Amino acid sequence: MTTTPTPLTGVVPPVCTPLTPEREVDTASLIRLVDHLIEGGVDGLFVLGSSSEAAYLTDDQRRTVIETVVGHVGGQLPVLAGAIDMATPRVLDHVRSVTGAGADGVVVTAPFYTRTHPAEVARHFRLIAQRSPVPVFAYDLPASVHSKLPAELTLELAAEGVLAGLKDSSGDEGNFREVVLGARTRPEVSGFSVLTGAETTVDGALAMGADGVVPGLGNVDPAGYARLYRHCREGDWARARVEQERLCGLFGMVRVGDPGRMGGSSSALGAFKAALALRGVIACAATAEPQVPLSSGEVERVGKFLAGAGLL
Amino acid sequence: MTTTPTPLTGVVPPVCTPLTPEREVDTASLIRLVDHLIEGGVDGLFVLGSSSEAAYLTDDQRRTVIETVVGHVGGQLPVLAGAIDMATPRVLDHVRSVTGAGADGVVVTAPFYTRTHPAEVARHFRLIAQRSPVPVFAYDLPASVHSKLPAELTLELAAEGVLAGLKDSSGDEGNFREVVLGARTRPEVSGFSVLTGAETTVDGALAMGADGVVPGLGNVDPAGYARLYRHCREGDWARARVEQERLCGLFGMVRVGDPGRMGGSSSALGAFKAALALRGVIACAATAEPQVPLSSGEVERVGKFLAGAGLL
Amino acid sequence: MTTTPTPLTGVVPPVCTPLTPEREVDTASLIRLVDHLIEGGVDGLFVLGSSSEAAYLTDDQRRTVIETVVGHVGGQLPVLAGAIDMATPRVLDHVRSVTGAGADGVVVTAPFYTRTHPAEVARHFRLIAQRSPVPVFAYDLPASVHSKLPAELTLELAAEGVLAGLKDSSGDEGNFREVVLGARTRPEVSGFSVLTGAETTVDGALAMGADGVVPGLGNVDPAGYARLYRHCREGDWARARVEQERLCGLFGMVRVGDPGRMGGSSSALGAFKAALALRGVIACAATAEPQVPLSSGEVERVGKFLAGAGLL
Amino acid sequence: MTTTPTPLTGVVPPVCTPLTPEREVDTASLIRLVDHLIEGGVDGLFVLGSSSEAAYLTDDQRRTVIETVVGHVGGQLPVLAGAIDMATPRVLDHVRSVTGAGADGVVVTAPFYTRTHPAEVARHFRLIAQRSPVPVFAYDLPASVHSKLPAELTLELAAEGVLAGLKDSSGDEGNFREVVLGARTRPEVSGFSVLTGAETTVDGALAMGADGVVPGLGNVDPAGYARLYRHCREGDWARARVEQERLCGLFGMVRVGDPGRMGGSSSALGAFKAALALRGVIACAATAEPQVPLSSGEVERVGKFLAGAGLL
């Protein structure tokens, strides 16, 4: 276990979970993927998030993932872990499991499946923070949990010390900027880490004052995101924009899957894994069930996106 | 383990999960609740559904519930168990757990949290049915899973033998009737059980030809639902309507909770548990975290609903 | 102008708006359609609702429709008219227009397009009722207006005399029953008319105590709905169910349109108009722009639905 | 009538519609508001959009607005006008009306109220462009119309010459950037104007390559947005950020209204109008019915936002 920097900054990719053709966790590929990310220059790892297919992985598989990654990383950089489940008691079980395995921070959504009031969302985060031995990051993902974390609530929980950071995958840039500004200007909120999950607007988020980025596409091109982050930190916005636009082009791969045949997760996660297999990082591009696999033609198109971005 | 009748018919309440003040499963209260339901004349039990707070209960707590209920029932009547989780592999773990403990059938929703295509929903149910040792019932609950099971898909999966029945909590009566009519008229669909979860329109559903009802309010007044079911089966629609309207009045308790202070689950499940405590069936009305407890004034109003329905 | 009965009861179909191939109102066909409905035994007419394509018709076309229908009906039966628009001042303009032309009642939704609070919805209905010379019916259509009229608010506005009735196309039968029960049991709510828009559960709605039905499919088979209504009123639930199930079969036509090529309105309204053309009631099945026309194969399938229901 | 520059660039505020206490259009205040905007340095005007309360204004009031503004502006700068209505024929009536009065471009949403397929959305824009004498701008506003214009469709319609520009109020920055990149890199799309409606991320949008901004808050502080635009165009991102952050602070006024008492429109539009009244630009802060007025305490808080931004 390492100590998570305060605030956590930089590129913290949500680590894909390579699977065997039988859909067990492929730990050898997972280790190669972690090495690929570290060599790419990332600043931390986030396992068991949405891009890691946490919604599909069994508890045993989740445990294998966190143990494999923490064991391999050996404290070189912080490892955050998702504790994704429907409501407080189930989330706390995952918190216990991942922190027992050495996670440096936990990433938690608002309750889902249940019909929850904002006061209950706040209570959920407070109860989890009380009982978590490591910092708690809020994961704002309305597409999955069907509620939005308002900036005001995020900042209130930050000021209370309940939340150490935010991973914003809501796509609501106005609300995101409100959190960024609040985190910088309110004295009672210090060390709070504001991270965007939006792959194609990282330069904008960092220009606003965000601390870092959690890009799913960072699995495929970690070095690209590391460069993008560096250009932004150096204030070289022109080079940042060039790098970002290259990554925007690469990101087009998330739509290779035929929408008449599969959902958005199958297409996007299928493309990331196909790209990792094509780049030789992981052995097999299988995604968890009931996701639909990409066709060979769709995989070919992933290859063209890689080539177009100079990655093949 | 008993053999589930084909089709399953009658009143099959989703069994509340009594908790201690420390929010552990109160097995003594759970056993009293099961006895209360059986004495009320129900035809089956459904544990670990939404009304059972399955979204909140840890895996250990879920196991305690299914073992307690199956052990106590001893095959007197069928016990269905929810296997509520986000996607196929996690659901299959719950299927293994509850069937290992003796569940006679499993109740499964479409995937949630993930963005899923209808083809993936179908694949999900097919994979689960392949690997489940007991019949699979689809649980249609758009308010929680944010997708709707269309009648055509339900009937197709019924015809394939994938689904043994439907628990419809969608509130979409037109779609429900389409399933009822299909189940009666298509020769390839036989023995399929069409159950409504709508507490206040049971007479209408049974008049259409539905097989049974899974009423959350049946925890509070199982005898009322048993009478209602009997009147409908006997074609005594006038007495059915009187009984149903009494239950409609009682159902008003789900809104006792202040919507400015709590969500719909806190209010409805809080009211059912408060009613069970007031009736002396369970020891404590606590709901799982992060739900907000009813105030004493709100509990008093629950009592008035009980009195108004002749239950106190 | 006739006096709307209090409460309005029976079958009140939302009258389709026949168009010429150039998409002008075909008044000759409209008059034939009105005759077809009256001969079928309906109890009132509702023009300029959703099934009338009010969302597409220009103000001039709306005026032509109401003048044509009121002129032709000549007070034989009540004519309600939709005043469908985004917010209060625009709705009031339509109220003036349709009542100037002789409408016996107006049908009004909650505001849409704007983000509206429940208090503003209530205020909207109150302002309209103050300024309308005829009774106001609320049109509950969440699929279009993206908010739901809760039973409590509906009954409150009924008790104030703001609303004369409800046309419920929400598909929420529990809420509908609450309105029905409230309208019957609260002394301050009298003469309030509770009408369902759900074509396939009319027997159930009338068994609950609803006053009538506003079936889009009633354009195609008004006599069927008139028989269904009569059987229900006579308490002959067995014959009602047979008639209703025949109509359920016929209703399948709303899904003839290819969902990969057109939306739900194009398919359902296209099917109703194709059926009216096939039955010789209207001259042309065109729907308003930008709706997509049914293909000839799809129109053929509409014919099969008619034949299957004994209408060709 | 002036010729709209190709592409239209700069600050194009959606002009509020001042009302008298009796809620008629206050043309004297409207003229003062236009002068205030022009003196502030804006590049164009957009009347009859959402911030103009177009959803509330009657056709007569809409006509008064466009005639007043076009007449007063006298071709000094381009005037775009909303043609906001549910479906194609009704939208075309508004197109005729506003272009008859001299609008230089029309702004049109996807159909709403109806259930529309993407193919029908495309057909809608094509039909309108065929019949409009002036350029058509798409207005992407999912919060109001409940569908999202995908980048691919927007660019396809741009390439066909159907659309002259996009006013994006969707808050989806990833999709927005895709349009910006497509407009710059696809040779068949030229002169297409990509405008953001997001008040608090203008620097980011312009850094990406957007052409301009349509800020509701620009009514209150046009000079601020003009400065922000200039700093961005000059590549002075540091000063741009300071100006943008000042405007972010000012934007907080949109939430002064008590959410327990009113909707988001009442609060935001009420605040803009209160600010304009406090600044002496318009005579009365009334909003159209059924919106709820701000309390005096809420208006006082608007004043504090003005003071905090150096505007009082």
Closest A-chain CA to B62? A90
- The CA distance from C108 to C166, in Å, is 10
The answer to whether residue D5 scores a pLDDT higher than 80 is no
Task: Dump pLDDT digits (tens) for A193-249.
Answer: 999 999 999 999 999 999 999 999 999 999 999 999 999 999 999 999 999 999 999
ipTM score: 0.97
Burial D186-199 (b: 16+ CB within 10 A, else e): eeebeebbbbbbbb
- The CA distance from B60 to C185, in Å, is 48
Mean pLDDT of D209-224: 98
The answer to whether residue B2 scores a pLDDT higher than 60 is no
Closest D-chain CA to A197? D174
Selected residues 68-87 of chain C with any CB under 8 Å from a CB in chain B:
none
Using a CB-CB cut-off of 8 Å, the residues of chain D touching C263 are 114-117, 120
**Cβ neighbours around D149 below 10 Å, total:** 27
**What are the residues facing C45 on neighbouring strands?**
C79
Task: Dump pLDDT digits (tens) for C184-200.
Answer: 999 899 899 999 999 99
CB contact under 8 A, B178 and C248: yes
Residue C255 burial (10 A CB sphere; 0-12, 13-18, 19+): middle
Chain C contact for B198 (CB, 8 A cutoff): yes
pLDDT at C4: 63
Chain C contact for D310 (CB, 8 A cutoff): no
pLDDT at D175: 95
Q: Considering CB atoms only, which of C84, C114, C264 is closest to D265?
A: C114
Closest B-chain CA to A264? B115
For the beta sheet containing D193-196, the strands, ordered from the edge strand earlier in sequence to the opposite edge, are D10-11, D212-213, D193-196, D165-168, D136-140, D105-108, D79-82, D45-47
The Cα-based distances of C252 to B174, C241, C260, C304 in angstroms read 11, 17, 18, 10
- How close D264 comes to chain A (CA, Å)? 14
Using a CB-CB cut-off of 8 Å, the residues of chain C touching B203 are 207
Residue of D50, D62, D90, D254 for testing the chain C interface, max C β-carbons within 10 Å: D90
Using a CB-CB cut-off of 8 Å, the residues of chain C touching D84 are 86, 113
**Token pair recorded at residue B115:** 């963005």
Residue of A173, A179, A185 for testing the chain D interface, max D β-carbons within 10 Å: A173
Alpha helices in A137-186, H assignment, sequence order: 142-145, 151-159, 173-185
Chain C contact for B200 (CB, 8 A cutoff): yes
The answer to whether residue D2 scores a pLDDT higher than 60 is no
Label residue C310 left, alpha or beta by phi (over 0 means left) and psi (-120 to 50 means alpha).
Answer: left
- The CA distance from C243 to C229, in Å, is 10
Percent of chain C with pLDDT over 70: 98
Under 8 Å between Cβ of A108 and A125: yes
Closest C-chain CA to D126? C290
The pLDDT confidence band at residue A1, using thresholds 50, 70 and 90, is very low
Chain D contact for A308 (CB, 8 A cutoff): no
- How close C93 comes to chain D (CA, Å)? 7
- How close D231 comes to chain C (CA, Å)? 34
The answer to whether residue B1 scores a pLDDT higher than 60 is no
Lowest mean pLDDT among A83-87, D170-174, D218-222: D170-174
Task: Dump pLDDT digits (tens) for A269-308.
Answer: 999 999 999 999 999 999 999 999 999 999 999 999 999 9
- Average pLDDT of every residue of chain A: 96
pLDDT at B3: 56
Percent of chain D with pLDDT over 70: 98
- The CA distance from B104 to B136, in Å, is 10
pLDDT at D115: 87
Closest B-chain CA to A260? B117
Which residues, at least 6 apart from B205, have a Cβ–Cβ distance to it below 8 Å? B173, B176, B180, B196, B198, B213
Chain D contact for A177 (CB, 8 A cutoff): yes
Chain A contact for D56 (CB, 8 A cutoff): no
Chain B contact for C293 (CB, 8 A cutoff): no
Task: Dump pLDDT digits (tens) for D25-44.
Answer: 999 999 999 999 999 999 99
The Cα-based distances of B83 to A81, B138, C96, D173 in angstroms read 25, 11, 57, 38
Under 8 Å between Cβ of B151 and B175: yes
Mean pLDDT of A72-84: 97
Residue located via tokens 């109008």:
D273
The answer to whether residue D177 scores a pLDDT higher than 70 is yes
The pLDDT confidence band at residue A114, using thresholds 50, 70 and 90, is very high
- How close A11 comes to chain B (CA, Å)? 24
Burial A21-52 (b: 16+ CB within 10 A, else e): eebebbbebbbbbbebbbebbbbbbbbbbbbb
pLDDT at C3: 56
pLDDT at B115: 87
Chain A contact for D2 (CB, 8 A cutoff): no
The answer to whether residue C41 scores a pLDDT higher than 60 is yes
Secondary structure class of C125 (helix, strand, coil): helix
Residue A179 burial (10 A CB sphere; 0-12, 13-18, 19+): buried
pLDDT at D154: 98
All partners of chain C with 3 or more CB pairs under 8 angstroms: B, D
**Token pair recorded at residue D94:** 């508004």
pLDDT at C7: 85
Percent of chain D with pLDDT over 90: 96
Under 8 Å between Cβ of C228 and C204: no
Mean pLDDT of A72-100: 98
CB contact under 8 A, B88 and A289: yes
The answer to whether residue B70 scores a pLDDT higher than 50 is yes
Q: What is the DSSP string of chain B?
A: --PPPSS--EE--B----B-TTSSB-HHHHHHHHHHHHHHT-S-EEESSGGGTTTTS-HHHHHHHHHHHHHHHTTSS-EEEE---SSHHHHHHHHHHHHHTT-SEEEEPPP-SS---HHHHHHHHHHHHHH-SS-EEEEE-HHHHS----HHHHHHHHHTTS-SEEEE-S-BHHHHHHHHHHHHH-TT--S-EEEE--TT-HHHHHHHT--EE--GGGGT-HHHHHHHHHHHHTT-HHHHHHHHHHHHHHHGGGG-S-TTT--HHHHHHHHHHHHHHHTTSSS-----TTPPPPPHHHHHHHHHHHHHTT--
CB contact under 8 A, C204 and B208: yes
All partners of chain D with 3 or more CB pairs under 8 angstroms: A, C
pLDDT at A3: 55
The answer to whether residue A4 scores a pLDDT higher than 90 is no
The answer to whether residue B233 scores a pLDDT higher than 80 is yes
Using a CB-CB cut-off of 8 Å, the residues of chain A touching D153 are none
Chain B contact for C202 (CB, 8 A cutoff): no
- The CA distance from D37 to A7, in Å, is 42
Secondary structure class of A158 (helix, strand, coil): helix
Selected residues 116-135 of chain B with any CB under 8 Å from a CB in chain A:
116-117, 119-121, 123-124, 127
pLDDT at B110: 98
CB contact under 8 A, C88 and D292: no
Mean pLDDT of A180-189: 94
Burial A265-288 (b: 16+ CB within 10 A, else e): bbbbbbbbbbbbbbbebbbebbbb
Q: How many CB pairs under 8 A join A and B?
A: 148
Q: What is the DSSP letter of A140?
A: E
pLDDT at C1: 44
